[in-house]
Amino acid sequence: MNLTVDVLGAAELLKVHPKTVLDLINSGDIRAAKIGRAWVMLTKDVLDYIERKIVNETARRMRQPLRSPKARSQVAAT
């Protein structure tokens, strides 16, 4: 895996539009540096962002009660 990615590479990793990556950079959610005309990010930082999102969203889902026994059995089956 490459040590660095540009906006398009980060967008591919995140499965989002490149504009979304620029928004994440501007908000400080993903660390980046502008080198010449290109934004450059460490691949590790992009993967760390993905991991934080997965951990936070999984924790949020685990705190929510299941709505019905049917929903519980569907979750267990997946």
| Model pLDDT for residues 14-50, shown as the tens digit of each residue | 999 999 999 999 999 999 999 999 999 999 999 999 9
Give the predicted TM-score (pTM) of the model: 0.76
Does 67 have pLDDT greater than 80? no
What pLDDT was estimated at residue 18?
A: 98
Distance CA 39, CA 64 (A): 38
User: Token digits for 71?
Assistant: 């929903």
User: Token digits for 24?
Assistant: 């994440």
Distance CA 70, CA 72 (A): 5
What pLDDT was estimated at residue 2?
A: 83
Q: What residues does each domain of the chain span? A: 4-64
Q: Which residues, 6 or more positions from 9, have their beta carbon under 8 angstroms from its beta carbon?
A: 2, 43
Does 8 have pLDDT greater than 90? yes
User: Token digits for 11?
Assistant: 């967008």
User: Token digits for 16?
Assistant: 């989002």
